[in-house]
Amino acid sequence: MSTRTAPPAPPAESTGGPAPAPRPPAWQAAAAGLVAAAVALGAGEFVAGLLRAPSPVIAVGDRVIDLVPGPVKDAAIAVFGTNDKIALLVGILVLTAVLGAVLGLAAVRRFAVGAAGLALFGALGVAAALQDARASTLEAVLPSLVAAIAGIAALTLAVRTARHAIPAPAHPAVTDQRRSGVAAAATGGAGAGGEAWDGAAEGWRAEPKGRRSFLRTAGGLLVVAAAAGAVGRGLGARATAAASRAAVVLPRPRTAATPVPSGAALDVDGLSPFVTPNADFYRIDTALQVPQVDVATWRLRIAGMVDTPLTFSLQDLLDRDLMEADVTLACVSNEVGGGLVGNARWLGVRLDGLLAEAGIQEGATQIVGRAVDGFTVGFPTEVALDGRDALVAVAMNGEPLPVEHGFPARLVVPGLYGYVSATKWLAEIELTTLEGFDAYWVPRGWAKEAPIKTQSRIDVPRGLANLDAGRTAIAGVAWAQTRGIERVEVQVDDEPWQPARLADVPGPDTWRQWVYEWDATPGRHRIQVRATDGAGDTQPEQRTAPIPDGAAGWHSVVVQVRES
């Protein structure tokens, strides 16, 4: 490639020796590289979509997520919130564009350098995709390989076209050669490299034409790249999981949940509803692209230190005795007052039942939940055996699990933060020892064992609200899964703590609404809340950060009350 496109030295008499190859303007070189990178990405997405193999871009993004140090990740989440994944993808695309431009600038000096850069991109994509346990080697290699080849081909074409546009001083000695070059190019003669160079000697007056042809080629390549990418993404998204999910018929539970008491929902505007609708339920996971599970091939394994390893299809699980439980899930990353908590009615198979059937071996102190994408959680075996409603859940609020919330099955363990328990897209439950394995977040600085801390949150009034003086509801939710909420107290400024009225709850595993009627007086006020759990422990005042085992401290808001 490189030898064919490298221009031959200009006629000797023009310089008296071998002259450096003339170069297209920098912007064209950069644009050529950028376009080549775009074509590579588009081709990669296209092949990945066709094969349903991992997208090179997503694969690289997933590796970035796994590899970035905790503090960087926390900072990214702080800045971008739950848009951190979009920010990462945009970052990857911008970086690719910049590197592509740099490769273009390199390629007009030495084409091999540009080509090598694209090959390196491809290698990066292969390396990232090989980490994806779901993909075969061929599926991991092919998209990036095709991407690199397409990128190099596009770079060849774009650089060659750019050279057509080189402004060169008209020189009588090259006139004939130039003519012959143009003629050869026009008749589509072979050996285009040489002709391309000859044509490039067109001179200043030809430049606008050359630039136009460059822009046409570059634009054409961009369109091809975008179309290939879009088609690939479309093919990849052929909704396996959505189709599987639509076909699921949920049986009625053998053990229905305790009916939610009518007094569980207080009538206060702006208060979180007792049941969080699926669409509003927070979502936290490391998956850049939601895993798409096809139930035809999906199996749940119970393995490791068990007497009898077991395997279940989704239908096997649905055919068992199912139980319902209302359980509030909480993320360890939730800040005091934050929204990474939600309450749902789960339907599933009791974990203790499944484990009894498999037969837990002596010394199996840890249960590891492994997801189809390789994510892992781990918690003490005894937690699953103490009678709490730990479930392999298949439904959430009366629907099969939404794809983002773990379709077709996930773990739900009341009282444990999600990162040590709530494995979505569950593939395996492995019995092992506590010393034998550290789950995903443990080497990243989070606690190995993480029971949920007692917490309370003020939903209304919102922080910095402007209120009218007079009767005002202060209300929110409090949770202490497995222990239950026994008391919630509210403090305005430095006045004495006042008991809030508690709503009813079906059990200790859900959050509990509370309300305090406040006679708001004009001025600026600070409102604080604290809860006491069923074990008699009151939340500590001291604020601590979420890392390593969950935020602690009292939630407070400041409001402004005007005369009314």
- Our finding on whether 423 is near ligand MTE (CB under 6 A) is yes
The rounded distance, in Å, linking the Cα atoms of 505 and 490 is: 20
Determine contact, residues 145/126, Cβ cutoff 8 Å.
yes
Q: Which residue is nearest to ligand MTE (CB)?
A: 418
- Our finding on whether 331 is near Mo ion (CB under 5 A) is yes
- Our finding on whether 282 is near Mo ion (CB under 5 A) is no
| Residue type at position 257 | A
Contacts of residue 318, defined as CB under 8 A and 6 or more positions apart, other chains included, come to 248, 249, 250, 251, 394
- Our finding on whether 511 is near ligand MTE (CB under 6 A) is no
- Our finding on whether 425 is near Mo ion (CB under 5 A) is no
Stretch that binds ligand MTE, among 47-55, 177-185, 277-285, 442-450 (CB under 6 A): 277-285
Determine contact, residues 519/532, Cβ cutoff 8 Å.
no
Task: Rule CB under 6 A: choose which of 171, 179, 233, 283 binds ligand MTE.
Answer: 283
Residue with tokens 């064209």: 28
Stretch that binds Mo ion, among 46-54, 169-177, 417-425, 535-543 (CB under 5 A): 417-425
Partners of 302 in the beta sheet? Answer: 310, 429
- Our finding on whether 416 is near Mo ion (CB under 5 A) is no
| Interaction pattern, residues 382-411, with ligand MTE; x per rule: CB under 6 A | -----------------------x------
CB of 450 to Mo ion, least distance (A): 9
- Our finding on whether 424 is near ligand MTE (CB under 6 A) is yes
| Interaction pattern, residues 171-190, with ligand MTE; x per rule: CB under 6 A | --------------------
Alpha carbon dihedral 343, 348, 352, 354, in 10-degree steps, equals: -150
Helices then strands, counting H and E runs in the chain, come out as 16, 19
CB of 289 to ligand MTE, least distance (A): 12
Stretch that binds Mo ion, among 130-138, 147-155, 330-338, 441-449 (CB under 5 A): 330-338
CB of 366 to ligand MTE, least distance (A): 17
Partners of 392 in the beta sheet? Answer: 349, 411
The rounded distance, in Å, linking the Cα atoms of 343 and 359 is: 32
Task: Rule CB under 6 A: choose which of 286, 289, 365, 560 binds ligand MTE.
Answer: 286
Report how many residues bind ligand MTE under the rule CB under 6 A: 19
Site for ligand MTE in 92-151 (CB under 6 A): none
Determine contact, residues 36/161, Cβ cutoff 8 Å.
no
DSSP class of residue 505? -
CB of 446 to Mo ion, least distance (A): 9
Site for ligand MTE in 317-336 (CB under 6 A): 329, 331
Closer to Mo ion by CB, 194 or 418: give it: 418
- Our finding on whether 419 is near Mo ion (CB under 5 A) is yes
The closest of 242, 327, 325 to 281, measured between CA atoms, is 327
- In three-state form (DSSP H/G/I as H, E/B as E, the rest C), the secondary structure along 148-174 is HHHHHHHHHHHHHHHHHCCCCCCCHHH
- Our finding on whether 411 is near Mo ion (CB under 5 A) is no
Long-range CB contact pairs, 242-246, < 8 A, 24+: 242/403, 244/293, 244/294, 244/295, 244/296, 244/407, 244/408, 245/400, 245/401, 245/403, 245/407, 245/408
The entry of ligand MTE, Mo ion, none that residue 402 binds, CB within 5 to 8 Å by partner kind:
none
- Our finding on whether 444 is near ligand MTE (CB under 6 A) is no
- Our finding on whether 418 is near Mo ion (CB under 5 A) is yes
The rounded distance, in Å, linking the Cα atoms of 151 and 114 is: 10
- Our finding on whether 284 is near ligand MTE (CB under 6 A) is yes
The entry of ligand MTE, Mo ion, none that residue 453 binds, CB within 5 to 8 Å by partner kind:
none
Task: Rule CB under 5 A: choose which of 9, 284, 385, 552 binds Mo ion.
Answer: 284
Stretch that binds ligand MTE, among 131-139, 246-254, 261-269, 369-377 (CB under 6 A): 369-377
CB of 77 to Mo ion, least distance (A): 11
Site for Mo ion in 442-481 (CB under 5 A): none
Q: Which residue is nearest to Mo ion (CB)?
A: 331
- Our finding on whether 479 is near ligand MTE (CB under 6 A) is no
Indicate the SS3 state at residue 138.
helix
Query: Residue 366, Cβ neighbours under 10 Å: how many?
Result: 24
296 to 73, 242, 340, 408, 557: CA distances (angstroms): 35, 13, 32, 11, 50
**What is the β-pairing status of strands 523-533 and 555-562?**
antiparallel
CB of 498 to Mo ion, least distance (A): 33
The entry of Mo ion, ligand MTE, none that residue 483 binds, CB within 5 to 8 Å by partner kind:
none
CB of 187 to ligand MTE, least distance (A): 60
- Our finding on whether 419 is near ligand MTE (CB under 6 A) is yes
- Our finding on whether 281 is near ligand MTE (CB under 6 A) is yes
Query: Residue 538, Cβ neighbours under 10 Å: how many?
Result: 15
Helices (H), 68-174: 70-80, 84-109, 111-130, 137-164
Which positions touch ligand MTE (CB under 6 A)?
281-287, 329, 331, 371, 373, 375, 405, 418-419, 422-425
Which positions touch Mo ion (CB under 5 A)?
284, 331, 418-419
